[in-house]
Amino acid sequence: MCVDRKYRANLITDLETLEVTVKETDIFISVSQGKVNEMMRDKIYRQVTMLRNELEEYLKSDPEFGRTLSPYIVRHNAPYIVWEMAKRANQAGVGPMAAVAGAFAELVGKYIGEQFSREVIVENGGDIYLSSQKQRVIGIFAGESPFSNQLGIKINPHKTPLGICTSSGKIGPSLSLGRADAAVILADSTFLADAVATAAGNRINSPQDFQGTIQYAKKISGVKGVLLIKGDKMAAWGDIELVPLPNRG
């Protein structure tokens, strides 16, 4: 399936970028200048492949893990990626596959941070793992909403590493039971941010759903901020600092 990648224009920074694609996993990576080389590309590709293999092998033995939309208990021999997806999805009250994009973003980001660059942004399907030593602004892509590509979230370095994940009922191939233009969650775990973003997006069919969705998300330990967009209406809670994006013409 062809997925709109226009939001990646909002990740242009002073950093050097590369893309790694393994089957359906399509990851956009930003690291410090001068760090990207063929060895790094190859090692990241191998890391993504290993993580996918672990997940795929587990799904063969426990296919319900991939189907359920409800919290799920995994088998005792499950690999770390599976355990953590289930744990964070259980916190959010959704099925474990709701955390899959955030899982890859975080695990690949931590691997890069340990091996190659302390400055790292990993974006996977609109879900972001950020570890930075300087202030960053993450642009918001919210489909046809008038806020789309107009606003960004300012992230100060001492608040990273951080997960910034978005669910939409309008954009992309991921399952959403709601009609939000964007439900953005900031959390100390990208697994958790992804799962809660899915759950938050599921709850929004109109702006009248904003208050209840924020009440839901703010009770979850690890959630730092919430931004909800539906049409020309927006609501925010927590550690969210919005700034206008520069006009890119």
pLDDT in tens, 88-103: 999 999 999 999 999 9
Residue from 70, 29, 72 nearest 48 by CA:
29
Residue 153 in tokens: 């979230």
Nearest Cα to 141, choosing from 2, 235, 13, 245? 245
Q: What is the pLDDT of residues 120-179, one digit of tens each?
A: 999 998 899 999 999 999 988 888 888 888 899 999 999 999 999 998 844 444 444 557
Of 191, 169, 193, 189, residue with least CA distance to 179: 169
Model's pTM, two decimal places?
Answer: 0.90
Q: Which two tokens stand for residue 21?
A: 């694609």
**Each residue's pLDDT tens digit, 205-243:** 999 999 999 999 999 999 999 999 999 999 999 999 999
How far is C-alpha 236 from the geometric centre of its chain's CA atoms?
18
Domains detected in the chain: 6-244 (3.10.520.10)
